[in-house]
């Protein structure tokens, strides 16, 4: 199993492609926490995200799981904030300007845009959400959504085995 990641490519898309291949290798670690921790770290440092983390569904709320970045909110209710809405609607949400999203939960005043993707269990229920924040406005587009959906499929392969 790889113990470091090497990102090749100059465009953001090329970097994602290079990184995704290595995420599959990190997913081979049999321990769920070890595998998820490394995947979140690889995404953070590979793509230079400001903040990235998983919020895990526990007792009908989202609880902070493996993350990389500044200290964050620990619990989010169903339908609350961007994360709670992605959970409730079972859909990826891209927010170009967090100030325009009603009910946005600001864990850091530095976050300006955000993408949240649901992570599904075998029966189609949401097990967790992947939340990524940027300090730049409108930093996530359809290409990010496509590539991060591939990353979510790798996370699903870990949590559903």
Residues forming contacts to ligand SME in the complex (CB under 6 A) are 51, 72-73, 76, 81-83, 104-105, 107, 111, 114, 131, 133
Query: Torsions phi, psi of 28, nearest 5?
Result: -70, -20
Residue whose Cβ sits closest to ligand SME:
81
Q: Which is nearer to ligand SME, 105 or 159 (CB)?
A: 105
Q: Which is nearer to ligand SME, 131 or 156 (CB)?
A: 131
User: Nearest approach, Cβ of 31 to ligand SME (angstroms)?
Assistant: 25
User: Nearest approach, Cβ of 10 to ligand SME (angstroms)?
Assistant: 29
Measured at the CA of 96, the angle between CA 102 and CA 43, to 5 degrees, comes to 115
User: Nearest approach, Cβ of 146 to ligand SME (angstroms)?
Assistant: 21
User: Nearest approach, Cβ of 118 to ligand SME (angstroms)?
Assistant: 12
Q: Which is nearer to ligand SME, 79 or 121 (CB)?
A: 79
Neighbours of 73 (CB within 10 A): 15
Neighbours of 99 (CB within 10 A): 9
* Structure token pair of residue 12: 């953001």
Q: Which is nearer to ligand SME, 27 or 83 (CB)?
A: 83
Helix (H) or strand (E) holding 12: helix 12-26
Best CA proximity match to 52, nearest among 33, 34, 39, 63:
39
């Amino acid at each position: 199993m790889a113990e470091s990641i090497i990102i090749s490519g100059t465009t953001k898309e090329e970097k994602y492609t290079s990184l995704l291949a290595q995420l599959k290798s990190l997913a081979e670690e049999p321990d769920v926490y070890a595998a998820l921790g490394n995947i979140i770290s690889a995404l953070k440092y590979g793509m230079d995200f400001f903040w990235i983390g998983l919020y895990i569904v526990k007792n009908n709320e989202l609880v902070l799981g493996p993350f990389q970045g500044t200290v964050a909110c620990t619990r989010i209710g169903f339908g609350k904030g961007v994360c709670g809405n992605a959970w409730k609607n079972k859909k990826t949400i891209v927010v170009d300007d967090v100030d325009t999203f009603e009910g946005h939960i600001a864990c850091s005043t530095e976050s300006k845009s955000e993408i949240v993707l649901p992570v599904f269990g075998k029966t189609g229920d949401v097990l967790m959400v992947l939340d990524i924040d940027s300090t730049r406005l409108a930093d996530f587009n359809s290409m990010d959504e496509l590539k991060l959906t591939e990353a979510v499929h790798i996370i699903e392969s870990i949590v559903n085995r």
